[in-house]
Structure 1
Amino acid sequence: MAFTNQLWRDAAQLRRAIHAHPFNKELAAGTLSRDAFAHYMIQDSLYLQGYARVLALGAAKAPAADEILEFSKAAEVAILVERALHAGYLTQFGIDAREAEAANPTPACEAYVNFMLATAITDSFSVLAAAILPCFWLYLDVGRAIGAKSKPGNFYQAWINTYADESFAAATQRMKDIVDLAAKRAGPKEQASMKAAFLRCAQYEWMFWDSAYHRRGWPI
């Protein structure tokens, strides 16, 4: 069994929790609160700045030219392509995109970004590659599931289309291939660290959606 398939199996409970979360169930039905989605989009703008930095650090650590290119391109996509998606929704909400990118991160957003940045700086390329994979794979999984049952006229269709798209699926597969290759180069201890990083980031993905749904900020 491929290493990434083992990771996916180990994350089964987390994946079920993500699909069952009211944020994603209501997004699929088009009934999700606009305030909750606006909160999510602002936090996602902040997250993507950090994620792009993590990907850039991955490019710097990558052992081969193809991996350098893949991480570099992914960093560019995180800033350019997904910023366009955010801008469309933020405009409808009357929120300036530059103000969104300068907003205060929630505990969930800050913890997730800081965990990945720390991983990028202190851990190996293999562990970093495993840490960035949930953001690709879980969004593809959710996008496809929601896309299969979304009704016409869904306000959130542009978001759904972004993550159910075949080009995003292809990018996810390339990242899975990189993680599988990295796992082959790694020993048992490093593979265990890869698994731990993957599962921790999958947990952070659930927390990110949950924080947006409840519009959680800092308690004090």
Structure 2
Amino acid sequence: CAFVVLSSGLSYAATQHPRQVSLSASLWADAQVAALASECESNGFVRALADGSLMLASFQGYIAQDRFFLSAFSRAYALSREKAAAAGDWVSAAELGELEAGVHAELSLHSGYAARWGVNMSTVAPVPACNEYVNFLLRIAEEESVAACAAAMVPCMRLYAALGQHIATRQLRCMANPSESTDTCSAGIYQEWVDTYAAADIEVLASKLEALLDREAARTNAPATKILRSHYVRAMELELAFFDAWASRS
């Protein structure tokens, strides 16, 4: 999927020729998805994280919940990998294994946050927004196709890559003209989070999952494609709800 980061915000328009737009690109450019992505970007939690003003307790809570979610994300990859292997689709199985490894790396980062900032995971229970997202994802991973699971997982990958890149772009603009910029040049103690999701390897993983979705979706019919869009949109709604759970505490 190709997308452009504009000075005014996230871009949701595909850069490919209209006749060549992939499913993943068309979903990201979908008007309903674009509106949800814009709401995520302007969410109070995300804005406070980006400018470094987020209360530490709010970030601690978010990290604890995100660990629950990422554990389910890893499980969804594993379930899809098993389905692909059972169908003899070794290319998809291998790619899903690589994507699962990427989640493990992200979990290691969260473990570092937890250790440094005193997040005791043994005392944390999932909040409703986290539970709803996890249940949605695992149900699809267990009961539906690899394509359906990919459609439910791509929004997380694409959204976080886009947010990280956009925040980093604003920071660069600020550093270039600090006296004229209305942006913040650093996210303060949360800069590591920004750097992580703005990094090239996150974009690579997001693009890899999108390519897998496109390949798997090509094997489905029109009614199935409608289901894929429904899953994609629902995942975006759950992403926003996840941020909203912490916005009031930011």
TM > 0.5 fold call? yes
2:118 is matched with 94
CA distance in 1, matches of 2:103, 2:51: 26
- Which of 50, 53, 68 aligns to 2:72? It is 50
Aligned residues of 1:40 and 1:212 also touching (Cα < 8 A): yes
The residue that corresponds to 2:106 in the other structure is: 82
> CA offset at residue 86 of structure 1?
1.3
Larger Rg: 2
Q: Does 1:157 align with 2:191?
A: yes
- Aligned residue for 1:185, secondary structure, equals coil
1:181 aligns with 2:201: no
Q: Secondary structure at the match of 1:162?
A: helix
SS of the equivalent of 1:155 reads helix
Q: CA deviation at 1:84?
A: 2.4
Which residue pairs with 1:123 in the alignment? 144
Q: Deviation at 1:168?
A: 1.0
| Matched-pair contact (CA < 8 Å) for 1:42–1:103 | yes
Pairwise CA RMSD of aligned residues? 1.5
Q: Distance in 2 between matches of 1:163 and 1:176?
A: 17
Residues 158, 57 of structure 1: CA spacing in aligned structure 2 closer, same or farther, 3 A cutoff? Answer: same
> Which residue in the other structure is 1:169 paired with?
203
How many angstroms does 1:29 deviate by? 0.6
Per-residue deviation, 1:41 = 0.2
Amino acid at match of 1:9: A
Using structure 1 for the length normalisation, give the TM-score.
0.91
- TM superposition shift of 1:153: 6.4
Given the alignment of the two structures, is residue 109 of structure 1 paired with residue 133 of structure 2, yes or no? no
2:50 paired with 1:28: yes
List, as ranges, runs of 4+ consecutive aligned residues in structure 1 with deviation greater than 4 Å. Answer: none
Determine if the alignment matches structure 1 residue 210 to structure 2 residue 247: no
Give the equivalent residue in structure 1 for 2:177.
none
Q: CA deviation at 1:171?
A: 1.1
Matches of 2:94 and 2:248, distance apart in 1: 38
Aligned amino acid, residue 70 of structure 1: E
Which position in structure 2 is the counterpart of 1:191?
225
For these two proteins, the number of residue pairs brought into alignment is: 211
Aligned to 1:218: none
Contact 1:140–1:169, Cα closer than 8 Å, also in 2? yes
- Greater helix proportion: 1
In structure 1, C-alpha distance between the alignment counterparts of 2:107 and 2:146, rounded to whole Å: 26
How many Å separate the matches in 1 of 2:79 and 2:187?
40
Task: Provide the C-alpha distance between the structure 2 equivalents of 1:88 and 1:51, rounded to a whole number of angstroms.
Answer: 19
- The alpha carbon displacement at 1:95 in A equals 2.2
> Is residue 85–residue 159 contact of structure 1 (8 Å, CA) maintained in 2?
no
2:24–2:214 Cα contact (<8 Å) kept = yes
Deviation larger for 57-66 or 195-204: 57-66
Per the alignment, residue 17 of structure 1 pairs with: 39
- Identity, % of aligned positions: 29
User: Does residue 60 of the first structure (1) align with residue 85 of the second (2)?
Assistant: no
Which of residues 75, 78, 96 in structure 2 aligns to 1:71?
96
Q: Secondary structure at the match of 1:42?
A: helix
How many angstroms apart in 2 are the aligned matches of 1:8 and 1:92?
A: 35
Deviation at 1:59, TM superposition (A): 0.5
CA shift, 1:24, in A, is: 1.1
Unaligned runs of 5+ in 1: 216-220
Task: Tell me, in whole angstroms, the C-alpha distance in 1 between the residues paired with 2:119 and 2:216.
Answer: 41
